[in-house]
Amino acid sequence: MKIWYSRPTAKLRRGGGDRRSTIALCKKMPRFPSWQPELTDDGSFTFFSEEFGEHFHSRAGAKQEALHKFVQATQLAYRAQRPALRLLDVCYGLGYNTAAALTTIAEVNPACQVELYGLEVDASVPRAAIAPELLTIWSPPVQAILRDLAQNHQCQRETLKATILLGDARQTIQTLRQQGFRADVVFFDPFSPRRCPQLWTVEFFSEVAACLAPDGVLATYSRSACVRSALLAAGFCIGTIPPRAHALSHQWSEGTVAAFQPDGLIPLSPMEQEHLQTRAAIPYRDPHLSDAAAAILARHHQEQARSPLASTSSWRRRWQID
């Protein structure tokens, strides 16, 4: 979940740990030009993207986010009881979603035959993420898989065939569609819609839909109305990822789950349904899957300005959202 808009200070530390030891650990790690490890609250690490102005993961914990918003949200443990499983990790990044998935599958059904594709635009990110100190949160077999994928962009094991496709995901997804790949589970994890609108459009979601099995499921951290309306326009049914206990009023959802049938999806609340009737729900468009982010944002702004839908601010006041 890529929602941090400012850099954390040196106060970021492992929960309950010693600040000096945390800083010393970070100093030991190899430095890449743009990827300096930063600790999250559960002891796992993330990077900050200068290009997008966001971190790759939630401040509450990178590993916990992968488990809660992707692995658990897609009911992967249940699906892993099958003899074979196909996974698509859109925006592979540090590989946390893939690692959490492989860990869960190995626990539930070690014999499950897994075929996995990760889409990633920047090969330096997974390479930076295999520094030894960053890998310790995963089992040795998963660590080895992450290293193979980062270094060779592919990994073959007795029960795993995994590949990272490098490049603009709008093009690499078309390669998968043409190959007839159909995922049982899709982890959808780009930077936020306003920072990376080109991967949240109706047209891109339509490409993803073409790569999803009839009973497949997609999960994303985003609860944005524009994302949900784009999913609907691409032919999905959608459900919410409910907030955990003690959530604040503005934490009314932790993301979105999508599938071709509503069975098993947690319905949107009345508040979330009403959100889809505001100008915030106008989706991003990229007709030829090639526009720059600025062009997509400008088109979106123009559509919102012409829209007769209710303002999002009135919706927030109605539901007392801070």
Copy the structure tokens of residue 173. 């997804």
- Give the C-alpha separation, 47 to 31, whole Å: 11
Q: What is the pLDDT of residue 245?
A: 67
Residue recorded with tokens 């492992």: 14
Instruction: Find the farthest-apart pair of alpha carbons in the chain and give their distance in angstroms, rounded.
Output: 56
- pLDDT tens profile 84-113: 999 999 999 999 999 999 999 999 999 999
Q: What averages of pLDDT result for each successive group of 10 residues across the chain (322 residues)? A: 36 38 46 78 93 89 95 98 98 98 98 98 97 95 98 98 98 97 98 97 98 98 97 98 72 93 96 96 98 98 96 90 79
Angle at which helices 202-210 and 225-233 cross, to 10° = 50
Pick the closest to residue 44 from 27, 31, 53, 56 (CA basis): 56
3-state secondary structure at position 239: strand
Pick the closest to residue 263 from 208, 216, 210, 205 (CA basis): 216
* Alpha-carbon distance values, 57 to 115, 207, 221, 261 (Å): 25, 25, 10, 29
Identity of the residue numbered 69: K
Residue recorded with tokens 């088109």: 299
Q: What is the pLDDT of residue 27?
A: 47
- What is the residue extent of each domain of the chain? 190-322
* Alpha-carbon distance values, 230 to 13, 223, 226 (Å): 37, 12, 6
Copy the structure tokens of residue 230. 């784009």
- pLDDT tens profile 24-75: 444 444 444 579 999 999 999 999 999 999 999 987 899 999 999 999 999 9
Question: How much is the pTM?
Answer: 0.89
